């Protein structure tokens, strides 16, 4: 089993996203990545956010947990946390930190998420302030990711 973390950083009704290829078929995604063996989950999120976006964050609420079962006996537990910016510069990406090249990092209006391939359910949760935060959402398909 693998564990992945992603961060939701929202400022002024805009969410911080990465432009990179994903296994979902869309090119924009939440920043985050794999938790390394022996690495606490919160530290993994702080590291991934810094490497992929240039932003220093503090870890907030657990927003949701879901499963990703891509097949071949692979099971990925995906944990998404609220994040708050504490420093850094957006776009100051660590070269080579991610196995998939990052083309860009930017804040995107929540209302623009559907046009970028994010499902309506994700947009509704983000706009509503994540009611039910800390919930197990089942398979990734249940939240539309």
Which domains does the chain carry? 2-131 (3.90.79.10)
Q: Which pLDDT score is estimated for 66?
A: 84
For residue 45, the SS3 value is: helix
Q: Which pLDDT score is estimated for 138?
A: 58
Question: CB within 8 A of 117, min separation 6: which ones?
Answer: 24, 25, 26, 27, 28
Q: Which pLDDT score is estimated for 93?
A: 80
Pick out the chain residues at pLDDT < 50: none
Which tens digits make up the pLDDT trace of 86-115?
999 998 787 766 667 788 899 999 999 999
Q: Residue length, the chain?
A: 145
Q: Which pLDDT score is estimated for 5?
A: 96
- φ/ψ (deg, to 5) at 29: -150, 165
Beta strands in 20-144 (DSSP E): 28-29, 32-34, 55-71, 74-88, 104-109, 135-139
- With a threshold of 0.75, does the pTM exceed it? yes
């Amino acid at each position: 089993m693998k564990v992945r973390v992603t961060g939701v950083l929202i400022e002024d009704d805009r969410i911080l996203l990465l432009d990179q290829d994903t296994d979902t078929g869309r090119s924009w995604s939440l920043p985050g990545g794999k938790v390394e063996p022996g690495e606490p989950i919160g530290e993994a999120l702080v590291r991934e956010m810094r490497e992929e976006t240039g932003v220093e964050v503090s870890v907030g609420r657990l927003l949701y947990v879901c499963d990703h079962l891509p097949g071949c006996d692979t099971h990925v537990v995906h944990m998404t946390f609220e994040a708050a910016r504490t420093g850094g510069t957006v776009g100051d990406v660590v070269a080579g930190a991610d196995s998939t090249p990052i083309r860009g990092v930017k804040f995107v209006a929540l209302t623009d998420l559907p046009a970028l391939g994010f499902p309506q359910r994700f947009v509704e949760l983000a706009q509503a302030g994540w009611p039910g935060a800390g919930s197990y959402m089942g398979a990734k398909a249940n939240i539309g990711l």
